């Protein structure tokens, strides 16, 4: 009878294990559309009891446990919401379970978690919060980035708040970069002197000195004053000698089209080119000092601007203006100032930095979105809301900049879909149902055998 009892118990454990597996499958199917959800599998382990010798141990059934495939990459799909983010690769978004709207800090009762659910949006207080109510944490612009391993780095992350700014105030131009070519073949100044002569009456006719000026090239550039008001400035480059030119402001036009006269406080800038046509000097930025602009017709003061000239690219270090053959042509100019700009949207850069995008492509950094990794992802504790809690088993959180140190890359306007495959889940459901049916057969068969034994006594 004892063996029959064990058979009954074994059958019951099998039914319980298959019930657990069905629960896991049901949860997977229920979350097949949940952003960032990782599907789980059921792992079965046998139960044994008996003596110390393996030969004396008797199987006592089976137990099932849930195993989440937390490190599986879900499919990334495009989103129309710019604040929807996904991670391509390893890692998680750091989040807080609640924010104190009064202080803008993590609430005292909240905890720091990690998630792959990047369906964030800007809430009424300006914080980025996902559909589960978790607030995205990061490194606000203008603060020192804290990355690395340990609670210190993880706990230093702050809630990301998007400024309510819809208009970016204008700023003054501080630098104007000229681009183009000043022809080596252009004329240089020529001075012609004639000697004294005498006329028919014997009178001395003084000689003359005539100077033909060198070639000039004029370009119009837009610059802004401290209020963001635009002015069109005329920059004139004059050839003074072979491979040598000067540059200075010579006039301009006000925002209302009024003609302006420029008066510089410094001498013109001298540009010197080498025999290969490359600019020798100056390099970097060169100041002309303040340039006062007055109304040409009335003489009234209009504005004082002081943008520097630049003839060298900040990134490549290459000069943007040459003195080669061919025609002279100032093909372009850029300035760092701008007028008032309207907000166009939000985006994440290649560096994982969240930017506000204004008109004319002007970007203003809001915060850096880090990617948190762990030595053992499977050691994380799952909590409601498709999030995970750091544990001793997972190891300390490692805070990384996007796409560095093996961490994944933060992608803007993307969402990571659930890793659940419905075809697999329904197939496993059939297998699980058959397993449950077979386990129930163990119970009914063992019960029938017990009844036979009882009948023998009669």
Give the CA-trace dihedral at 141, 146, 149, 151, to 10 degrees.
Answer: -90
CA-wise closest residue to 188 among 247, 237, 241, 244: 241
Beta bridge partners of 66: 42
User: Would you say the pTM of this structure is higher than 0.95?
Assistant: no
Residue with tokens 């970007």: 363
Specify the pLDDT at position 372. 97
Q: Distance between CA 399 and CA 147 in Å, rounded?
A: 5
- 215 contact partners, CB below 8 Å, separation of at least 6: 183, 186, 187, 188, 238, 239, 328
Among 187-191, 285-289, 405-409, the range of highest mean pLDDT: 405-409
Q: What phi and psi values does residue 429 have, to the nearest 5 degrees?
A: -65, -40
Q: Distance between CA 31 and CA 131 in Å, rounded?
A: 14
| 200-217 pLDDT tens trace | 777 777 766 666 778 888
Q: Using an 8 Å Cβ cutoff, are 180 and 330 in contact?
A: yes
CA-wise closest residue to 176 among 50, 80, 20, 288: 288
Q: Is the pLDDT of residue 54 over 60?
A: no
DSSP 35: T
- 10 Å Cβ neighbour count for 120? 24
Specify the pLDDT at position 104. 84
Distance from the Cα of residue 290 to its chain's centroid: 38
Burial of 78 (0-12, 13-18, 19+ CB in 10 A): exposed
Number of residues that make up the chain: 458
Q: What phi and psi values does residue 363 have, to the nearest 5 degrees?
A: -115, 135
Q: Distance between CA 293 and CA 249 in Å, rounded?
A: 10
Terminal-to-terminal C-alpha distance of the chain: 16
In order of start, what are the domains of the chain with their CATH numbers? 2-71+419-457 (no CATH), 76-167+343-416 (no CATH), 175-339 (2.60.98.20)
Q: Distance between CA 133 and CA 262 in Å, rounded?
A: 58
| 284-318 pLDDT tens trace | 788 777 788 888 888 888 888 888 878 766 655 56
Specify the pLDDT at position 10. 85
């Amino acid at each position: 009878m004892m063996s029959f009892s064990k058979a009954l118990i074994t059958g019951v454990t099998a039914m319980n294990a298959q019930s657990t597996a069905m629960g896991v499958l049901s949860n997977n199917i229920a979350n097949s559309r949940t952003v960032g959800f990782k599907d789980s599998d059921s792992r079965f382990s046998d139960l044994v009891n008996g003596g110390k010798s393996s030969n004396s141990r008797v199987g006592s059934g089976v137990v099932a446990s849930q195993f989440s495939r937390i490190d599986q990459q879900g499919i990334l799909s495009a989103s129309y919401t710019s604040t929807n983010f996904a991670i391509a690769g390893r890692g998680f978004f750091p989040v807080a379970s609640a924010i104190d709207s009064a202080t803008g800090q993590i609430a005292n009762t909240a905890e720091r978690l990690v998630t792959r659910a990047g369906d964030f949006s800007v809430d009424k207080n300006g914080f980025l919060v996902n559909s589960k109510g978790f607030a995205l944490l990061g490194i606000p612009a203008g603060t020192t980035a804290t990355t690395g391993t340990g609670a210190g780095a993880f706990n230093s992350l702050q809630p990301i708040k998007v400024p309510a700014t819809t208009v970016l105030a204008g700023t003054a131009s501080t630098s104007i970069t000229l681009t183009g070519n000043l022809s080596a073949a252009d004329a240089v100044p020529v001075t012609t002197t004639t000697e004294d002569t005498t006329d028919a009456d014997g009178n001395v006719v003084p000689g003359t000195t005539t100077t033909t000026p060198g070639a000039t090239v004029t370009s119009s550039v837009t610059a802004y004053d401290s209020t963001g008001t635009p002015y069109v400035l005329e920059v004139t480059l004059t050839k003074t000698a072979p491979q040598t030119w000067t540059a200075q402001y010579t006039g301009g036009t006000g925002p209302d089209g009024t003609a302006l006269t420029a008066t510089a406080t410094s001498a013109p800038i001298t540009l010197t080119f080498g025999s290969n046509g490359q600019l020798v000097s100056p390099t970097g930025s060169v100041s002309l000092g303040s340039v006062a602009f007055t109304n040409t017709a009335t003489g009234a003061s209009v504005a004082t601007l002081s943008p520097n000239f630049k003839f060298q690219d900040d990134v490549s270090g290459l000069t943007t203006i040459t003195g080669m053959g061919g025609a002279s042509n100032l093909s372009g100019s850029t300035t760092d100032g701008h007028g008032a700009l309207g907000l166009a949207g939000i985006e994440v850069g290649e560096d994982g930095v969240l930017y506000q995008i204004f008109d004319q492509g002007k970007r203003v950094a809001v915060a850096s979105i880090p990617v948190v990794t762990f030595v053992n992802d499977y050691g994380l504790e799952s909590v409601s809301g498709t999030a995970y809690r750091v544990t001793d088993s997972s190891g300390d959180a490692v805070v990384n900049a996007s796409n560095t140190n093996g961490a994944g890359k933060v992608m803007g306007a993307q969402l990571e879909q659930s890793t659940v495959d419905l075809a697999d889940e329904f197939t496993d459901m059939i297998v699980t149902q058959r397993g449950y049916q077979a386990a129930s057969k163990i119970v009914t068969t063992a019960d029938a055998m017990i009844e036979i034994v009882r009948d023998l006594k009669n």
